[in-house]
Amino acid sequence: MPAVSAEYMKQYRQRNADYALRTKLQAAANRKADQFLRGLFEKMWLEFRDKELVALYLENGVVVPRGQAAEDGATNVAPNGYHYTKQNGKWRLTHHITAEAALGRPIREDERVEFIDKSNKDPKDVDNIRVVKKSKGTTARKRAQLEARIMELQAQLEELSDD
């Protein structure tokens, strides 16, 4: 193995030092940029959130900001677009409350409420809400369950005939 010259080692150390310094400067710049962007994002988020709260207040009348206990009748919109209303101390889907009011009775255990137009999740649009029976699974699933049960019963029958 050939000997490494002192000049080569000096250049090697300088390149490593330059690289280390460049890496530290880049990391510092990234941190500074992250802080700036985070601050900008928080400012934009607060402005957006305030506008959203004002719009919700104007639409529904009662909106509780984060960090405060909500009273019955308060509404909240989840990130997925579903509206929730506090009723009897519990948060409920607003379209369920609307459906119950339209039906004149509570939703039964074997029923579920769904939007006809999935892109329009306006909980006050009664024409877009329907109550359907909950299904217990697809027919393919039911068929598979029955076939499994038949095989089990046939195995038991064979055991009895062997005795």
Task: Work out the number of other CB atoms within 10 angstroms of the CB of residue 94.
Answer: 21
pLDDT at 32: 73
- The Cα–Cα gap between 41 and 37 comes to 6
- Residue-wise pLDDT tens digits, 18-47: 777 777 777 777 777 667 666 655 555 555
- The Cα–Cα gap between 31 and 28 comes to 5
- The Cα–Cα gap between 45 and 52 comes to 10
Same domain, 120 and 140: yes
Residues of the chain with pLDDT under 70: 1-4, 33-34, 36-68, 163
- The Cα–Cα gap between 92 and 98 comes to 11
Same domain, 81 and 54: no
Dihedral (CA of 134, 140, 146, 149) sign: negative
Statement: the pTM of the whole predicted model exceeds 0.85: no
How far, CA to CA in Å, does 154 sit from each of 4, 140, 157, 163? 82, 21, 5, 15
- The Cα–Cα gap between 49 and 55 comes to 10
pLDDT at 15: 79
- The Cα–Cα gap between 85 and 90 comes to 8
User: In terms of residue numbers, what domain contains 50?
Assistant: 1-61
Same domain, 46 and 86: no
Domain count, the chain: 2
The one-letter amino acid code at 5 reads S
34 in any annotated domain: yes
